[in-house]
Structure 1
């Protein structure tokens, strides 16, 4: 599946803030099912209220994997690499964007968490 097409299946907030790096599909061991892993990296957009002349991108945090809605019977996992920025003069100050559209404390998107709660299969 192409990276442009997959954007239509992702939460809109992800498409706004992340680029699709790659998509992997692999079999789930001992089953006849497949899972899809969509690797996303955060765009180089500073958190609101921060000035570009004061902050510099300093790479990414460790990837975080969250579960999203299945696509055509395949389990879908989003592997997110979030950016971190360091203050140019105070090197100990690090900031990150707040992605509250991911379900707090859960390893799934907020939309999927709400859907499962509505169906009685709570997350």
Structure 2
């Protein structure tokens, strides 16, 4: 869902109800969502963009252990995506040669 305001766009994203591939051998059941997180993304048409993400968590009913996907959306200590951070680092390495 997209909410457009005068100063920003807010995109609401919800993880699909499919079991993570790395746990497909287990019989897991969805146990709802973690608290929603908000990530600021690149501007669109001079408006700020915010992604509001709801991540699922899963439970193995036999053991009670919970599982979730490993989402490294934001580089640690920054307000940019990990992918964009890697891109900037690559540019810096090229400039320093």
Interval containing the TM-score (normalised by the shorter chain): 0.7 to 0.9
Q: Check conservation: 1:69, 1:112, Cα contact below 8 A.
A: no
Q: CA deviation at 1:53?
A: 5.5
Structure 2 residue aligned with 1:102: 74
C-alpha distance in structure 1 between counterparts of 2:30 and 2:47, whole Å: 35
Gaps of 5+ in 1: 1-21, 28-33
Q: How many residue pairs get matched?
A: 91
What is the aligned counterpart of 2:33 among 60, 65, 73? 60
Structure 2 residue aligned with 1:41: 14
Q: CA deviation at 1:47?
A: 2.1
| Pair 1:86 & 2:59 matched | yes
When the two chains are superposed, the root-mean-square deviation of aligned CA atoms in Å is: 2.4
C-alpha distance in structure 1 between counterparts of 2:48 and 2:4, whole Å: 10
Gaps of 5+ in 2: 93-97
Which of 1 and 2 has higher RCO (CA within 8 Å, sep 6+)? 2
Q: Check conservation: 1:68, 1:112, Cα contact below 8 A.
A: no
C-alpha distance in structure 2 between counterparts of 1:104 and 1:69, whole Å: 17
TM-score (norm 1): 0.62
Structure 2 residue aligned with 1:19: none
Cα pair distance change 1:35/1:115, threshold 3 Å? farther
TM-score (norm 2): 0.76
Cα pair distance change 1:115/1:101, threshold 3 Å? same
